[in-house]
């Protein structure tokens, strides 16, 4: 009777998939259907485990993540900053040519942005007429240069707008400077008409 008690050592209520099967050449199970270790081979140096392919792949991916983290932690801060600076310098960023605090000035309550006439810089439009029309359309805010500078790029298109976005940051400190650089870039003198030219026309 004592012998029968010693041989019956497995719990009666444990499912078969939960029982340990760790002998050489047997599967080791975790849960009901996930096989982690497919085989155990005894060699001189000790047991060698053959893992489930899915488990092996997960371990490889985990090792790569850990290696990447270790390399990142080992990289000096100076090198990280240098890489970030190279990325930041190489990435084009638009900077407004007027001072940043101009964007903090609020428009009058109820103000609506006019439907501005556009200037393309193709040489067929007068810059004097464009500035005069823009100032007239600004109406009640025409005397507030910060607001005028904020609205002015809305009147440009084509080559003129491309020129504007390339202006250096803080290169336009007031409306007078804006008019000056605009005039220098797009002013085209009227062709002179001589008497000989008039004679040809007639």
Q: Are 123 and 165 in contact (CB under 8 A)?
A: no
End-to-end CA distance of the chain: 139
**pTM, rounded to two decimals:** 0.51
Per-residue pLDDT of the chain (202 residues; tens, 9 = 90+): 444 444 444 445 544 444 444 444 444 444 444 555 555 566 566 666 665 666 667 777 777 777 777 766 655 566 666 666 665 555 667 889 999 999 999 999 888 888 999 999 887 889 999 999 999 999 888 889 999 999 999 999 999 999 999 999 999 999 999 999 999 999 877 655 556 655 656 5
Q: Render pLDDT for 183-198 as a digit per residue (tens, 0 to 9).
A: 999 987 765 555 665 5
Two tokens at 21?
Answer: 């099967």
Separation between Cα atoms, residue 22 and residue 39, nearest integer Å = 9
Q: Render pLDDT for 44-68 as a digit per residue (tens, 0 to 9).
A: 666 666 656 666 677 777 777 777 7
């Amino acid at each position: 009777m004592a012998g029968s008690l010693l041989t019956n050592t497995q719990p009666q209520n444990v499912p078969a998939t939960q029982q340990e099967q760790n002998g050489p050449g047997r599967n080791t199970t975790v849960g009901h259907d996930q096989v982690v270790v497919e085989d155990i081979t005894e060699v001189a140096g000790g047991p060698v485990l053959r893992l489930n392919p899915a488990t092996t792949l997960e371990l490889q991916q985990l090792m790569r993540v850990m290696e990447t983290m270790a390399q990142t932690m080992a990289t000096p801060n100076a090198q990280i900053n240098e890489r970030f600076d190279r990325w930041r310098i190489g990435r084009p960023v638009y900077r407004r040519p007027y001072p940043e605090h101009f964007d903090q000035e609020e428009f009058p309550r109820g103000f609506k942005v006019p439907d501005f006439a556009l200037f393309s810089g193709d040489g067929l439009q007068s810059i004097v007429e464009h500035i005069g029309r823009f100032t007239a359309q600004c109406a009640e805010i025409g005397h507030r240069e910060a607001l005028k500078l904020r609205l002015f790029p809305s009147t440009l298109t084509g080559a003129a707008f491309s020129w504007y976005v390339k202006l250096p940051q803080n290169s336009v400190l007031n409306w007078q400077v804006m008019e000056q650089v605009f005039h220098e870039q797009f002013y085209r003198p009227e062709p002179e008409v001589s008497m000989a030219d008039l004679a040809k026309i007639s």
